[in-house]
Chains A and B, each alone.
Chain A
Amino acid sequence: MCIYCDLWGEGTIWYLNPKNYPRHMYTLPKKSSTPRAAVGEADPAGYINAEKALVDALEKGPEEFEQALTQLRGMMDTAQGCIGGWMGQAVPLRDAERMVEISNPKGLIGCICRKGMLGLEERTPADMTCMGLGVGMFKWERWPERYKGGVHWVSTEEAKEWLRDLDRRGFMHSLMMFGPRFIGGICNCDYPACDALAMRLDFGFNMLKGHHVAVVDYDLCNGCGICVQRCQFGALKMNVTQDKANIDHMRCFGCGLCETGCPRDAISLVPRVEFPALKEVW
């Protein structure tokens, strides 16, 4: 079980437990408080400086690196309430669709990672690649001039269609936690434009692996290689000797992109817990 299922799962996968969506007594910032950034953008300077310090520590030595890593993880722990810096988790398309069924309201917003790392301003619904879930989104509608592009409300069916469309384009879905026990959004990530994913793959924190791993059926696989192109984690390689796709389960995040992209339905998602050695690989 992942740490969050242990804590907040209550017998199911934690993101399928409706109790983890409404942030109880959601508060708006007080009038006297200093200007605050958008949700997930809390103190961008602090986060960017900590991230820069982590890279700078690579030049200093292993002790300094571990110290910087602990500091960054601790910062996310206190700022976002995510334990040990684990802020998000990879979610397959089918679970993302169940999440939008549970949560209300839902609004499309511009992605803050792509704004910072690629300079993209996603101002129209067609460009938006991030979805906010729950009551926190009312804040975005209230001050559209404050939060760039505002928010575009969607129904459950529209949200599912939007998720499927991004899945077709090859975005990997993940959930994001904005506060303790509060799932606040579904991100659609790719490397390296997604900061969370880049941090996870390069420095090993920020995004937990999902609850599934992908398995290839060698009888159905024809070696077309589409899944290899879609994998963001380098878990899929072409097994050239046998002309089949091969999945490294130690690297697989269970995002399900290979499953949804496979034209022959040769790939299926299997719960991680069915493999005893993968139980603690998160």
Chain B
Amino acid sequence: MIDKSQLKIPTPVPIDLTKLPLKLPRIEIDYEKCTVPFWCKKCIQGCPQIVFQVYCKKLTKLQESDPREPGVYEVKAVRRDKCNMCMKCVEICPEGAITITYQED
């Protein structure tokens, strides 16, 4: 077994912690409207900052997940820190499922 307390594990954090908390845009996705994100892919491929990530929510053993089946894949706005609020995803979404808000002081 590895004794992790004896190891010198590198821990670089390139974020200036003194600047936290940051204010980030709030991205809401309506999952009742957005059901087949991996088949549509418009927000994933249209976002210039690659804010969105899609993942397989429902895994079936020994079967390829069908991207056209509703509810199998789900998209999430993971990298909100990169969002510059260009609103391309809001314009591009065929279901109108994405809303972005930013609270000013």
Contact = CB atoms under 8 A, between A and B. Distances in A.
B50 interface: yes
Given A44-B55, A84-B10, A117 B50 contact: yes
Given A45-B57, A119-B54, A204-B12, A6 B17 contact: no
A273 interface: no
Nearest to A193: B50
B61 A65 contact: no
Given A3-B8, A62-B20, A52 B78 contact: yes
Nearest to B10: A282
B64 interface: yes
Given A117-B53, A119-B45, A193-B50, A60 B81 contact: no
Interface stretch (A163-171, A195-203, A255-263): A195-203
Nearest to B13: A204
A94 B87 CA distance: 43
Contact of A48 (B18, B22, B55, B82): B55
Interface in B67-101: 74, 76-82
Nearest to B61: A35
Nearest to A201: B14
Contacts of B53: 48, 51, 116-117, 195
A221 B80 CA distance: 40
Interface string A232-276: 000000000000000000000000000000000000000000000
B44 to A, nearest CB: 4
A86 B20 contact: no
Interface string A126-162: 0000000000000000010110100000000000000
Interface string A77-105: 00000011010000000000000000000
Contacts of A217: none
Contacts of B81: 55, 58, 202
A84 B44 CA distance: 30
A45 B55 contact: yes
A10 interface: no
Contacts, number: 121
Given A119-B54, A145-B62, A65 B17 contact: yes
A192 interface: yes
A59 interface: yes
A12 B52 CA distance: 40
B56 A84 contact: no
B80 A3 contact: no
A83 B7 contact: yes
Interface of B: 2, 4, 7-15, 17-18, 20-24, 38, 41, 44-45, 49-50, 52-57, 59-64, 74, 76-82
8 contacts: A35-B61, A49-B76, A51-B53, A51-B78, A58-B20, A62-B20, A83-B2, A280-B8
Given A118-B50, A192-B49, A192-B82, 12 more contacts: A35-B59, A58-B20, A61-B21, A84-B7, A116-B54, A119-B44, A145-B62, A146-B62, A193-B50, A203-B13, A204-B15, A208-B10
